Structure 1
């Protein structure tokens, strides 16, 4: 595994690259937003996934630097597509641990205020990396929301206090953890939980994204239950920024053709 010096060198040399995974309309396949994920293009080890560097970065409190790097790469793409007539929302991961530091919001605000597009086109997916001070997090989440960005509760259903935080904080979106999609076709209460999550999001006036969709059967079952937006390998694996433009046009056509064939 890479050590701290190696990770720090990678940050300095900008070896961490933004990869994009679409959020897609379950019925049409249309993509209006993507989640921005990190991959490390290591000079000798190849492309490394987040498990090889995120835990160390969290311990060293370097996640802010990683987010700011991904934000710069993602916003550059967003502006390019906008100038070509395409609107694409971006979602970035922020951990509750990062929100413990009030200077994080200050640094983020400085960067966001330079963006010439509406900040509502940016979403920050809040990940629960452990028990944390609820009151302190709520204050920081409110500060983040007041900037005009959207907030999403990531991996809903698996965290430490998701329902409590959902009541206290200004979330706009819920991302239902992929664990529920994985067991969708098995006996048990998974379908019931998904239905109640969909109803909860609707009652709260929030959108809901279902994670972990990998098969046509899962997509169809979720559609029947009323889900509208999903994410997962059924649509696409995370891809480099350079690939997204051509992929969006081609995949939308292919998805529409597949959907008509399934009818």
Structure 2
């Protein structure tokens, strides 16, 4: 055996010796990654099934109460008031009405004569299903509409709520299909009808094809099944990560270095990476939008709004970077930055104006973290805040994990920090949120205030919200007030506070202090913040 042959054989044997354990490890890594992704798909399908059980259970409970009322006229004033009460008390039901002969006769909003489409199909338990129907008085939104065939009572369910899981990952497909008809009821992403054949008579099925790992879960109470589909590409991602660990040190170092350079280059171009850099470089600042007393015009508080100015002077829109921060897991760092800036700027504010308050927005992640409690304690110490000087705002979407959030909100309120539910009515709104959590304020969203005085279907929403807040003894803050007519409408109906461009645009802390100083903390509504009417409104951190 010559030297060249020996070298060749040695290299081959060496490659085989390296390749065999790597191949075994890759096989095991593949199996582990496959099982993990399949378990993920299965857990998502079970969650969708649970959500849909909750939705239909509430629908059937609504039908039961309406039938039990035994109204001789389903559209009588008394029966429509019952519809409105049941609507507000249901987390999943968005609207309730009465349909006869494919005509919507009435709802909690009033009487109608609106022709609707024929049912897509009927269930075995006597319900008529209409898919993606635009419910009158809620224009631009499609609903899953369920009608009790025996009574004609009808409930509209928001189509996103039952499948609002892993919405941040567009590659994961989810949905619900009718078992008898094989028809898709609700869905997001890819759905292949042949998947249903794998379920047969079983309660669940798990399988894979060339593109997807699929889990199906049959309902034990209703004639539908939930599905979730995860791309097989995610299995390959897990496999690659495992394989890189097992290659020889030299090759691994070279590959890892190449991937690291590529990863870092991509990260530097990505907004999450820019956010991280911006947090380190303190590129964020705060603007403050005053909140006024509608009766006196005094500035009683302000909402702290996070803003981002890049080194080149470019302003990044809050609605863009806040969403990215939430997706990238950076939102708590952004909130902490808000508290840090506020603590440094407002050190003597409450000493000079003890009846003034500053509102801070909290995300869903903030409302589920004990770190938020400590952050607010530090902020209270730095600003010498007393009871009512600090206020936190939470959106409906941030309240989904009720038990965790309730504990955090309880601790926040025990510190003397007041709480407000923000953008009420724009998410999966329901009276149950207000009954489950203790709030001091309810903020009426700008989208509803905009409809006041206009011939819009949603113009009647604000009076309903006002009456509901009064019944729960909540003070109200109307957002986005831009005309005196809107302010007068709100004032006459007992709304206590408002913010918007009619009164002042977001401003720096120095401008806020100047405005308070000029008026002795009793700024009149007529005082405008120079040139506000011609500029485009800034977007608040929601």
Map 1:53-202 → 2, pairs under 5 A: 53-85=321-353, 87-113=355-381, 115-129=383-397, 132-188=400-456, 190-202=458-470
* TM superposition shift of 1:223: 1.7
* TM superposition shift of 1:232: 0.9
Q: Is the 8 A contact 1:91 1:125 kept in 2?
A: yes
Q: Please say if 1:44 is aligned against 2:312.
A: yes
* TM superposition shift of 1:111: 4.5
Range 108-117 or range 174-183, more displaced: 108-117
TM-score for both structures, normalised by structure 1:
0.86
Q: Which residue of 2 is the match for residue 255 of structure 1?
A: 526
Q: Which residue of 2 is the match for residue 203 of structure 1?
A: 471
The alignment covers a number of residue pairs equal to: 257
In structure 2, the CA distance between the partners of 1:118 and 1:130, relative to structure 1 (3 Å rule), is closer
TM-score for both structures, normalised by structure 2:
0.44
The unaligned stretches of length 5 or more in structure 1 are 258-263
Match of 1:24 among 292, 297, 308: 292
Greater Cα radius of gyration, structure 1 or 2:
2
Q: Is the 8 A contact 1:95 1:128 kept in 2?
A: no
* Structure 1 counterpart SS, 2:504: coil
In structure 2, the CA distance between the partners of 1:182 and 1:190, relative to structure 1 (3 Å rule), is same
* TM superposition shift of 1:110: 4.8
Q: Please say if 1:5 is aligned against 2:276.
A: no
State the distance in 2 between where 1:2 and 1:52 align: 13
**What whole-Å deviation, never above 9, does each CA across 1:214-245 have from its counterpart, x for those lacking one?**
11121122222222211111111111112112
In structure 2, the CA distance between the partners of 1:127 and 1:216, relative to structure 1 (3 Å rule), is same
Q: Please say if 1:216 is aligned against 2:484.
A: yes
Runs ≥4 residues deviating over 6 A: none
In structure 2, the CA distance between the partners of 1:237 and 1:85, relative to structure 1 (3 Å rule), is closer
* Structure 2 counterpart SS, 1:252: coil
Q: Which residue of 2 is the match for residue 234 of structure 1?
A: 502
What RMSD in Å do the two structures reach over aligned CA positions?
Answer: 2.6
* TM superposition shift of 1:191: 4.8
State the distance in 2 between where 1:66 and 1:131 align: 19
- Structure with a larger share of its residues in helix: 1
Q: Which residue of 1 is the match for residue 282 of structure 2?
A: 14
Q: Is the 8 A contact 2:362 2:392 kept in 1?
A: yes
State the distance in 2 between where 1:101 and 1:131 align: 13
State the distance in 2 between where 1:111 and 1:185 align: 41
* Structure 1 counterpart SS, 2:523: helix
Range 22-31 or range 188-197, more displaced: 188-197
* TM superposition shift of 1:88: 2.2
State the distance in 1 between where 2:466 and 2:370 align: 33
Range 226-235 or range 73-82, more displaced: 73-82
In structure 2, the CA distance between the partners of 1:141 and 1:220, relative to structure 1 (3 Å rule), is same
**What whole-Å deviation, never above 9, does each CA across 1:85-106 have from its counterpart, x for those lacking one?**
5642000001223223344434
* TM superposition shift of 1:57: 0.9
In structure 2, the CA distance between the partners of 1:119 and 1:219, relative to structure 1 (3 Å rule), is same
In structure 2, the CA distance between the partners of 1:11 and 1:188, relative to structure 1 (3 Å rule), is same
Higher normalized contact order (CA 8 Å, seq sep 6+, divided by chain length) = 1
